[in-house]
Amino acid sequence: MLTPMVAGGVVFPGLFLLSKNTLQRLPQLRWEEADAVIVSARLVSSVQAVMASTAGYIVSTSCKHIIDDQHWLSSAYTQFAVPYFIYDIYAMFLCHWHKHQVKGHGGDEGSTRAPGSTWAVARGYLHKEFLMVLHHAVMVLVCFPLSVVWRQGKGDFFLGCLLMAEVSTPFVCLGKILIQYKQQHTLLHKVNGALMLLSFLCCRVLLFPYLYWAYGRHAGPPLLAVPPAPPPAALSL
């Protein structure tokens, strides 16, 4: 179990640092630290989403029996992704911190910060990103143990489908970057917006009725009786 988690603990922060340093140090770029941090955080989120979606597709298409079939990637990627949620809480704080400084709330450069300013930024971060921080904490403290212990190898098909909910994340991240650089008027922004809406509709909205339908077809209860009795993996993510 520790090997995938250690790998995730190296890959996600390492990719963030590599991207940030590259954007800051390449002679053709020389980005400011704030821009490099924000774009790098969204790049890592996109990479994680692509990896999760790919793993989910492989798992869900490999499981012919939606309850009993297993695929090693479901357990491995779940463990690999745990450090990402911990890293992302800190990455989101860094983004919030730099946005705070850019807006001029951090005092003049080189001046001594007022006592408690860091705590004020942290409180602002928790207030603004409370739901995301809560989501990440629940993923690590609740969903991961449930997925590893409670499922007992059942429902890999559903876990794979849930991982594919990340399909829309790269489009969301690209949209935020384009807005950050005031590119809302471009064709790329419009195409990305359409793809984001389509992927969100398919993989975040219609996904759950499909899972209920798939479980109902397997177990045999009427469609309206399915939600009160979800499959094991439905509670693990």
**What is the distance, to the nearest Å, from the Cα of residue 104 to the centroid of all Cα atoms in its chain?**
29
Instruction: Judge residue 215's burial from the number of C-beta atoms within 10 Å of its C-beta, 0-12 exposed, 13-18 middle, 19 or more buried.
Output: buried
Is the predicted pLDDT of residue 178 greater than 50, yes or no? yes
Q: Work out the number of other CB atoms within 10 angstroms of the CB of residue 112.
A: 8
Which carries the bigger pLDDT value, residue 186 or residue 223?
186
Q: How many CB atoms lie within 10 A of CB 174?
A: 19
**Mean pLDDT calculated for residue range 93-104:** 83
* 113 pLDDT higher than 50: no
Q: How confident is the model at residue 208 (pLDDT cuts 50, 70, 90)?
A: very high
Cβ contact 58:72 at 8 Å: no
Q: What is the rounded average pLDDT of the residues 206-219?
A: 90
Write the burial class of residue 158 (CB in 10 Å: 0-12 exposed, 13-18 middle, 19+ buried). buried
Say if residue 83's pLDDT is above 90: yes
Rounded CA-CA distance 36/21 in Å is 8
Length of the chain: 237
> Does the structure show a pLDDT above 80 at 13?
yes
The proportion of the chain whose per-residue pLDDT surpasses 70, expressed as a percent, equals: 86
Given this model, what pLDDT does residue 110 score?
42
pLDDT, greater one: 106 or 19: 19
Nearest to 105 by CA among 131, 89, 123, 130: 123
Predicted confidence at residue 152, as pLDDT, reads 82
Alpha-carbon span 139 to 74, nearest angstrom? 15
Max distance between CA atoms of the chain, in angstroms, equals: 68
Q: How confident is the model at residue 224 (pLDDT cuts 50, 70, 90)?
A: low
Nearest CA-CA partner of 146 in 154, 84, 90: 154
Poorest-pLDDT segment among 2-6, 76-80, 107-111, 221-225: 107-111
Tell me the pTM.
Answer: 0.85
Instruction: Measure Cα distances from 41 to 12, 89, 140, 149, 183 in Å.
Output: 10, 10, 19, 31, 19
Asked if pLDDT for residue 226 goes beyond 80, the answer is no
Indicate the pLDDT class of residue 204, thresholds 50, 70 and 90. very high
- Decide if 159 contacts 53 (C-beta within 8 A): no
Mean pLDDT across 180-189: 93
Residue 71 clears pLDDT 80, i.e. is over it: yes
State the DSSP H helix or E strand holding residue 170, giving kind and residue range, or none if neither: helix 169-180
DSSP state letters, 1-27: -HHHHHHHHHHHHHHHHHHHHHHHH-T
Report pLDDT for 109.
45
Do residues 150 and 144 lie in contact, with contact meaning Cβ atoms separated by under 8 Å? no
Q: Which helix (H) or strand (E) holds 108?
A: none
Q: What is the pLDDT of residues 100-112, one digit of tens each?
A: 886 655 444 444 4
